[in-house]
């Protein structure tokens, strides 16, 4: 009996590529709803980049306020611990712990921000963003997954999200007759025909010489 090695990996095949995570998640959820073994699938983000979104300006007052909030939670926790061993005045113990924690948190928050020297006077949040999200499936289930996602696209085009859909072959093209009429050879033949008709018309309407009738 052969036991597969834990480090061995099954080859994966990309069955769809999306421009946002929500569309890739919707595709995997559709596979799951239709009985597909989703444990054989994966969502792989490519071309990762770090995006830091600025939330607002940070001042000493805001730093103190944020420190007071975090310190109040810690003081509340300490006050509850002491209140468990207090028979009288347990509410006063809790409020005292909360107040002391808020004060010390505000002091430490203001000092910490002042020590930065104004090099980072803003608050932000960072997260990773991928350029594309690929839905990959193991090789033995790739054909079935591709057919199911094709049915999803056919039934409800809105579920495709930002998935790239090829354009129709005749989209944005001129009719065949118009393209034939604008060919260089066709235009040249039309110009030659017009010139030939003009020469014939001039020969027909050319006036007779005045002395031609008196020579006879």
Q: Is residue 98 part of a domain?
A: yes
Mean pLDDT of 79-102: 89
Position 113 pLDDT exceeds 80: yes
Give the residue among 13, 26, 12 at the shortest CA–CA distance from 163.
26
Q: Is residue 23 part of a domain?
A: yes
Q: Return the residue matching tokens 């049915």.
A: 151
One domain, residues 93 and 116: yes
One domain, residues 112 and 23: no
One domain, residues 18 and 108: no
- Among 78, 105, 126, the domain boundary falls at 126
One domain, residues 46 and 150: yes
Strand partners, 124: 54
What's residue 202's pLDDT? 58
One domain, residues 117 and 133: no
Strand partners, 138: 12
The domain tally of the chain equals 2
One domain, residues 61 and 118: yes
One domain, residues 77 and 34: no
Q: Residue 132: which H helix or E strand, with range?
A: strand 132-138
One domain, residues 99 and 150: no
Position 151 pLDDT exceeds 60: yes
Domain that holds residue 79: 57-126
Q: Are 128 and 52 in contact (CB under 8 A)?
A: no
Helices 21-33 and 142-155: angle between axes, nearest 10 degrees: 110
pLDDT digits (tens, 9 = 90+) for 47-84: 889 999 998 888 888 999 999 999 999 999 999 998 88
CATH number for the domain spanning 139: value is 3.30.70.1530
CA distance 37 to 45: 21
One domain, residues 65 and 120: yes
One domain, residues 67 and 105: yes
pLDDT digits (tens, 9 = 90+) for 165-212: 333 334 344 443 433 344 444 455 666 666 666 655 555 555 554 544
What's residue 197's pLDDT? 64
- Among 118, 136, 160, the domain boundary falls at 160
Q: Are 53 and 125 in contact (CB under 8 A)?
A: yes
Q: Are 148 and 33 in contact (CB under 8 A)?
A: no
One domain, residues 48 and 132: yes
Q: Is residue 6 part of a domain?
A: no
One domain, residues 134 and 108: no
Q: Is residue 112 part of a domain?
A: yes
What's residue 201's pLDDT? 55
Please give the C-alpha separations between residue 109 and each of 61, 101, 121, in angstroms, as whole numbers: 9, 12, 13
């Amino acid at each position: 009996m052969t036991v597969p090695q834990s480090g061995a990996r099954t080859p994966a095949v990309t069955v769809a590529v999306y421009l946002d995570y929500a569309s890739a998640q919707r595709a995997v959820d559709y596979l799951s709803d239709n009985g597909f073994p989703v444990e054989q699938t994966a969502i792989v983000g490519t071309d990762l980049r770090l995006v830091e979104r600025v939330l607002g300006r940070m001042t000493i007052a805001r730093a103190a306020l944020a420190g007071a909030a975090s310190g109040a939670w810690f003081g509340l926790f300490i006050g509850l611990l002491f209140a468990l061993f207090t028979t009288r005045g347990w509410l006063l113990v809790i409020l005292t712990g909360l107040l002391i924690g808020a004060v010390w948190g505000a002091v430490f928050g203001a000092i910490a921000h002042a020590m930065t020297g104004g090099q980072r006077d803003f608050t932000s949040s960072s997260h990773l963003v991928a350029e594309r999200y690929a839905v990959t499936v193991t090789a033995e289930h790739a054909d079935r997954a591709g057919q199911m996602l094709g049915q999803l696209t056919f039934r409800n085009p809105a579920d495709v999200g930002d998935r790239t859909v090829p354009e129709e072959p005749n989209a944005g093209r001129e009719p065949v007759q118009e393209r034939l009429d604008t060919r260089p050879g066709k235009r040249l033949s039309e110009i030659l025909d017009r010139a030939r008709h003009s020469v014939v018309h001039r020969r027909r309407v050319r006036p007779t010489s005045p002395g031609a009738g008196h020579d006879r």
